[in-house]
Structure 1
Amino acid sequence: MEREITRVLTPSEGALRLGADLILSGRLVAMPTETVYGLGGDATNPEAARRIFQVKGRPLDNPIIVHVSCSEEAREVGRMTPLAEDLARAFWPGPLTLVVPSRGVVPREFLGGLDTVGIRCPSHPVARRLIEISGVPIGAPSANRSGRPSPTDALTVLEDLEGLIPLILDGGPCEVGLESTVVDVTGSEPVILRQGGVTERMIVQAVGRVQVAAGEELLRRSPGTRHRHYAPEVPVLLWDRSVPVQCPPGRVGYVGISDPPFEVAWSVRPRDLREYAFLLFRTFREMERGGASVIVAELPERGEALGDAIRDRLIRASGGRGLAKSRSRC
């Protein structure tokens, strides 16, 4: 693949029109959303899908979420069931992806070979405007090399993708910091495939019911559920605050709401789970750049608002590895 000259531009109307022209020519543009930065391409163009998979080094069976600017566009892309319509009214625009039967508008290259499509209407004005000017749905996974922590600012996108894409639209830091919640609505019950900014409790309040998927066949309908994801280049170890643990060797970075369980080289202490989600991927990147030899992350309790989404990202980033237990703190 030829090297690109990567431009980073503030999202003026001229920059957005440049981005739309690139997308319509089959090329890729990194765009801000409220969740993380996305690597966008024309979701009706199979060549754009091939470029996305090539640039990211993404497994071909990992479907790409399609972004639209309104519910009317979503109905053209997928068969919006009554349940999907209810959830769209409750949470769109916002950090919720709905998996519905595909209408065939989006080529199978974007769908990981499936007959379903994940659709999202983002709330970020830059993403919405880019979709509107382009006049096509935009397929956009996170704008990073596959498996790395998702980017929440333009500098991080540049760090991973400089020379691989022509344009990054710099809309500032992302508001949520974690990818969207993905919900399968092909049946009579909504099923959460991936936890995110729209929580289980919020979905129950909106439609009265929800399940959480466990089976491989259903999980493959969502990105970020089967392959290794979100991992910095240094090990991530999980800490359950109820358990005394051993101190790992080396320069230890720590992220968590509680006090760290031992002395660390530096720590990031979010005030609550919302700030934890906002800071998580940025912290991974900053500690990696700063020379940490290991990152210790506090594992939130199950069932807390956003706690399940943070747990999911931490478990995938760490490969499920926890700190070694000890009789006394070090």
Structure 2
Amino acid sequence: MQAENGNKVKTLVFRVSEENFDSVLERVSAIIKHGGTVAFPTETVYGLGADGLNPEAVLKIFEAKKRPPGNPLSLLVHSREDVERVSRNIPQNAFRLMDTFWPGPLTIVLEKNDIVPDITSGGLKSIGVRMPDHRVPLELIKKAGTPLAAPSANLSGKPSPSLASHVISDLTGRIDAILDGGEASIGLESTVIDMTAKPPIVLRPGAVSLEDLESVIGKVRSGYKNSEAGNEPDLSEKKAGQKYGHYIPDTKVVLVEGEGKLVSEKLVKLLESYRSEGQKVGLLLSDETSKETATFLALQNLDLYECLLLGPREEPEVAARKLFEGLRKLDRKGLDVIVADGSFSRFGLGEALINRLREASSIKIVA
């Protein structure tokens, strides 16, 4: 934690392996038990964990991330007993979702029990809970003996961390320990569904799609920012992921959405305009858009361009794993603008991918 006088704590970094797994987890679980903060991998992104039932420990998460007060956190749990410990009046449909999608990338918002401190829930009467599909946090929760408050392990508002190097860059000197467990397999945060609403509301898209949810519990509303449905509800309470901006690099991001070649044509016009102004441009492109704009780019001053490929349009799960790393890489290049390709399929992780791109961008263009 960074103290008020500017002093920094020593951040321990462990590369987790099969050989040292038990010893490392014992050591960092002791940090959690003593009110400390530990960053660790999950299947979605890296999380920053502390004892979610200890308000002093949770405060350290806010301080480390520079997270605005009142912004609710979710809890990572190890078992159904943990869920019943921190929440009450759990609807049967919530149990059906747990049976179907847990452990996995789904956060379920439930009515909270009094044991959950107000600082963890942001003063709300509800709390998000998730059982991650990753050995490291599950064992850490078990050994620490408490659910973990665990937002993404990055400075608040910035692109989420899919690699330990992202956490090291953002939070060294601000937290007690970082567990390096390699790349997050999904790369985007979990789906969040509010089960205190009727019908339930998807607050954030992720790897579990709205269609997946409806196949288990029936009608579900889309309530996240920039949802395609265009019918965002006027929520009386802002839940996890709804209250503040996310995923925003320092460099301005322009998102171009649309179908295939229309996006490529619009990108060429944009790049011509930026070139005429002498601006340095970063590009986050699908493989197809890169090919469709290759002739134009080959004729340009390539010193003005930095291009990263996210993968095929029809494989948004590939782009999802690369997105936050791509935003971070381009953000370090001293560019004037990042232009992002929004031509990816909306199937699977596609809706979540486009949602994160929309959140990261300050200008949105439809081709």
Question: TM-score category by the smaller chain?
Answer: over 0.9
Shift of 1:93: 0.3
Q: Secondary structure at the match of 2:69?
A: coil
Q: 1:95 to 1:324 in 2, by over 3 A?
A: closer
Q: Which residue of 1 aligns with 2:87?
A: 78
TM-score by length of 1: 0.92
TM-superposed deviation, 1:311: 1.7
2:355 maps to: 312
Q: Secondary structure at the match of 2:122?
A: coil
Q: Which moved more, 1:259-268 or 1:205-214?
A: 259-268
Residue 25 of structure 2 aligns with which residue? 16
User: Does the Cα contact within 8 Å between 2:13 and 2:177 map onto a contact in 1?
Assistant: yes
CA distance in structure 1 between the partners assigned to 2:202 and 2:186 by the alignment: 18
Unaligned runs of 5+ in 2: 224-231, 298-304
In structure 2, what is the Cα distance between the partners aligned to 1:265 and 1:158? 24
Structure 1: unaligned runs, 5 residues or longer: 326-330
- CA shift digits 1:256-306 (9 cap, x unpaired): 323145524323131310011111001011112234332111124685322
Measured after TM superposition, the shift of residue 70 of structure 1 is 1.6
SS of match in other structure, 1:19 = helix
Q: Partners in 2 of 1:172 and 1:266 — Cα distance?
A: 24
Kept in 2: contact 1:255–1:268 (CA 8 A): yes
Q: Specify the code of the residue in structure 1 equivalent to 2:222.
A: V
- Where do residues 182-193 of structure 1 align in structure 2 (5 Å cutoff)? 182-193=192-203
Given candidates 229, 243, 246, the residue that maps to 2:270 is 246
For 1:324 and 1:95, locate their aligned partners in 2 and report how far apart those are by CA, in whole Å: 30
Q: Secondary structure at the match of 2:203?
A: strand
Q: C-alpha separation between the residues in 2 aligned to 1:47 and 1:168?
A: 20
CA 197–219 in structure 1, closer or farther in 2 if over 3 Å, else same:
farther
1:196 paired residue number = 206
Structure 1 moving runs of 4+ over 6 Å? none
Could you say which residue in structure 2 is the equivalent of 1:328? none
Identify the range of structure 1 (250-259 vs 85-94) with the bigger mean alpha-carbon deviation. Answer: 250-259
- Map 1:315-326 to 2 at 5 A: 315-319=358-362, 321-322=363-364
Question: Secondary structure in 2 aligned to 1:269?
Answer: strand
Q: Give the corresponding residue for 1:179.
A: 189
1:288-299 equivalent positions in 2, closer than 5 A: 288-299=331-342
Q: Is the 8 A contact 1:77 1:103 kept in 2?
A: yes
SS at structure 2 position matched to 1:198? coil
8 Å contact from structure 1 (residues 100, 185) kept in 2: yes
Residue 3 (str. 1) matches residue 8 (str. 2): yes
Q: Is the contact between residue 181 and residue 199 of structure 1 (CA under 8 Å) also seen in structure 2?
A: yes
CA distance in 1, matches of 2:160, 2:321: 11
Distance in 2 (alpha carbons) for counterparts of 1:167 and 1:226 = 28
**Does the alignment pair 1:265 with 2:306?**
yes
Match of 1:26 in 2: 35
**Could you say if the C-alpha distance between residues 41 and 147 of structure 1 is closer, same or farther in structure 2, counting changes exceeding 3 Å?**
same
Structure with max Cα Rg: 2
After TM superposition, give the deviation of residue 208 of structure 1 in Å.
2.5
Q: Which residue of 2 aligns with 1:256?
A: 285
| Structure 1 position 197, deviation (Å) | 1.3
Shift of 1:10: 2.1
The DSSP-based 3-state class of the residue aligned with 2:142 is helix
Counterpart mapping for 1:154-165 below 5 A = 154-165=164-175
Equivalent position to 2:239, from 210, 221, 229: 221
Between the aligned partners of 1:293 and 1:69, the Cα distance in structure 2 is: 44
Tell me the C-alpha RMSD between the 2 structures: 1.8
Shift of 1:323: 5.3
In structure 2, how many angstroms separate the alpha carbons of the residues matched to 1:46 and 1:201?
37
Task: Give the Cα separation in 1 of the matches to 2:247 and 2:28.
Answer: 27
The code of the aligned residue for 1:104 comes to D
After TM superposition, the score normalised by the length of structure 2 is: 0.83
Amino acid at match of 1:259: T
Match of 2:320 among 261, 273, 277: 277
- Deviations 1:118-173 (Å, cap 9, x if unpaired)? 00000011011100100100000000100110001111101000101110011100
AA matched with 1:60: P
Deviation (angstroms), 1:202: 1.1
Equivalence for 1:51: 60
Which whole-Å deviations, capped at 9, do the CAs of 1:49-92 have from their partners, x for residues lacking one?
A: 21111111111121111000122211111122111101111100
